Amino acid sequence: MRKIMVTGAFGQIGSELVPALRKKYGNENVVAIGHKSKPSEKLMEGPCDSVEVTDKKAFEGKIKEHGIDTLYHLVSILSASGEKNPGLAWNVNMNGLYNALEIGRELPLERIIMPSSIAAFGPETPRDNTPNETIQRPTTMYGVTKVAGELLGNYYFKKFGLDVRGLRFPGIISSEALPGGGTTDYAVEIYYEALKKKSYTCFLKPDTYLPMMYMPDALKAIMDLAQAPISKLKHHCDFNVNAMSFSPKEQAESIKKHIPEFMIDYKPDFRQAIADSWPKSLDDSTARREWGWKPKYDLASMTKDMLEKLAEKIK
Ligand code: AKB
């Protein structure tokens, strides 16, 4: 039986990954680690704790206290917040990850799973069907930490034999917790505003294509990668995973099929430049080949499900 810790557990992915892991491994075997905010009622159905991942001694203490063998290291300052506070992004994303890997090597931990992002690519990367291996050179601090994180994870695998795995998530859309501080956040906010106000002002231009993924597929991706036989993996911390690509205009059209009066307008801000430096779509054949990745949701099926779930939640 695995004893799992999830850092960043009160965030967008963590608040759904923890319940999914608890369903599989048992409530008491998955510890949700947050930082300053409070856990939701759902997360409190199992062990919850908090720690500064930048404090190695405290982080290691929590891992030992809970008898952890597997770490999902999700905690991260995202792209837009990272541009407002690059020092914080470097500290949390890099020093937090370095601590996780060092603790993993020293104890040792059996496995560490750490998400990377499409932000690991940059303006010189081919933007359509971006290959798994290509020029990266990101221009955000978040992206810099994600490339460095991929390289560091691969280094710990090769040098120390630590089982570290990671995948490059696109924008994630979900109905449980709101994302915070990302460039793809608009793709979640739009559904809330469509239901509440029947209108939305988007901070990206109408034709900005970005890769996106619905949360059920994101959970499947990270859990499938975590369980893939190590003998099948030629890559470790740098798998592209694709699901769908769309622009704000196309997403608004998919919402209009359910809410015909929905209106969208556009006021691009500093996040436009970030989005313009990222891929529009990803070639994920490496993940498909090495661990059988296959998404289920497209824009139409996601929009239908999101609107149904949110209508229930906010009524
Ligand atoms: C962000 O927008 O910063 C994140 C990401 C794509 O990693 N959602």
Backbone angles phi, psi at 309, to 5 degrees: -65, -45
Atom of ligand 1 nearest to the CA of 115: 7
Q: pLDDT category, 37, cuts 50, 70, 90?
A: confident
Domains, in order of start, for the chain: 4-170+214-240 (3.40.50.720), 172-212+244-280+297-313 (3.90.25.10)
Does the pLDDT at position 36 exceed 80?
no
**Ligand 1 centre from 51 Cα, in Å?**
23
Query: How far is Cα 106 from Cα 60, in angstroms, rounded to an integer?
Result: 10
- Judge whether residue 215 has pLDDT over 80: yes
Average pLDDT of the residues of the chain: 97
The whole-model pTM stands at: 0.97
The CA 142 to ligand 1 mean position distance, Å, reads: 9
Q: Can you tell me the mean pLDDT for 54-60?
A: 98
Mean pLDDT of 104-120: 98
Distances (CA, A) of 19 to 42, 75, 281: 8, 17, 29
Q: Is the pLDDT score of 289 beyond 90? A: yes
Q: What is the residue-wise DSSP string for 123-140?
A: TTS--SSB-SSS----SS
Residue nearest to atom 6 of ligand 1 (CA): 171
Give residue 1's pLDDT band: very low, low, confident or very high (50, 70, 90).
low
Q: What confidence tens digit (pLDDT) does each residue in 232-283 have?
A: 999 999 999 999 999 999 999 999 999 999 999 999 999 999 999 999 999 9
Of 1-5, 33-37, 202-206, the range with the highest mean pLDDT is 202-206
Using a 10 angstrom Cβ sphere, with 0-12 exposed, 13-18 middle and 19 or more buried, the burial of residue 282 is buried
pLDDT reported for residue 282: 98
* pLDDT tens digits, 152-192: 999 999 999 999 999 999 999 999 988 889 999 999 999 99
Atom of ligand 1 at shortest range from CA of 79: 3
Confidence of residue 7 (pLDDT cuts 50, 70, 90): very high
Residue with tokens 């001694």: 57
Ligand 1 centroid, distance to 75 Cα (angstroms):
13
Q: Which of 303, 170, 148 has its CA nearest to residue 242?
A: 170
Q: Average pLDDT for residues 75-91, to the nearest whole number? A: 98
- Tens of pLDDT, residue by residue over 128-138, are 999 999 999 99
Return the pLDDT at 171.
98
pLDDT at 35: 85
Is the minimum distance from the CB of 182 to ligand 1 under 6 angstroms? yes
Burial of 288 (0-12, 13-18, 19+ CB in 10 A): middle
Helix, coil or strand: residue 209: coil
Among candidate residues 25, 72, 98, 142, the one labeled active-site is 142
Q: How many CB atoms neighbour CB 162 within 10 A? A: 21
Beta bridge partners of 6: 32, 72
Q: Flag whether pLDDT at 79 surpasses 70.
A: yes
142 classed as catalytic = yes
Q: Considering the chain, what percentage of its residues have pLDDT values greater than 90?
A: 96
Mean pLDDT on 74-79: 98
Residues 148, 184, 131: CA angle, nearest 5 degrees: 50
Q: The dihedral of CA 258, 261, 266, 267: what is its sign? A: negative
